[in-house]
Amino acid sequence: MSTFEIVKNNEAVKTYITRADESLCALGFTEHSFAHVTRTAEDAGYVLRTLGYAERDVELAQIAGYLHDIGNLVNRANHALSGAAMAFSLLGPLGFEAADIATITTAIGNHDEGTGFPVNPVCAALILADKSDVRRTRVRNPEISNFDIHDRVNYSVKKSTLKINEDQTLIKLKLSVDTKYGSVMDYFEIFLHRMIMCRKAAERLNLEFKLIVNEKQLI
């Protein structure tokens, strides 16, 4: 059976992730390289494993998380759709069965807040993991005085944690924000649609989504 390890160790996958991030760097975007896709894969797997999904579903969520941004190699616009097409082409030669390819590509193709929807549990886990990765180390701009709003928001987040409660009724995104660099309103200006998508993704998993900023519940 083809595995997450096979995907991670594939040289073509490594190249596509690297080159996709280079394109985003040229466009002035925050980091979308191995740190982001690894964390997304880990958190997507955590969500489904914690909720008791089968280990294969957990692995498919990890794979979708790892591959979800390769479409940026083509163009930032519609990157979820191009990424799904690229994953479709990659996974067959790696020995994945059609059903698994279908699940992964569906999740990738639906992870963007502009066009996507949490159509299956793997997709819902991917959305929650991807949209919750906000952190200072994603900022590339070395000059704080030249930060745009995305830089300010990411740099202001000292810590972000995605956590499901023991009763498996809530999933919380907890942020520790240094308001010296970015305000809570800045966060909502660029992330409101993402948080709405997270709420829909949580509902797909029979969870309630809550956003906690500096120990205060905002959603």
Give per-residue pLDDT as tens, 3-34. 999 999 999 999 999 999 999 999 999 999 99
Q: Give the distance from CA 69 to its chain's centroid.
A: 8
Instruction: Provide the token pair at 146.
Output: 């030249």
Q: Which residues, including other chains, have CB under 8 Å from residue 75's CB and lie 6 or more apart?
A: 82
Instruction: Provide the token pair at 211.
Output: 């956003």
Residue matched to tokens 């294969």: 56
Q: What is the 8-class DSSP label of residue 175?
A: E
Q: Which residues, including other chains, have CB under 8 Å from residue 30's CB and lie 6 or more apart?
A: 24, 138, 139, 140, 150, 151, 154
List, run by run, the mean pLDDT of 10-residue segments along the chain (219 residues).
Answer: 94 98 95 98 98 98 98 97 98 97 98 94 98 95 90 93 97 94 87 94 98 88
pTM for this one? 0.96
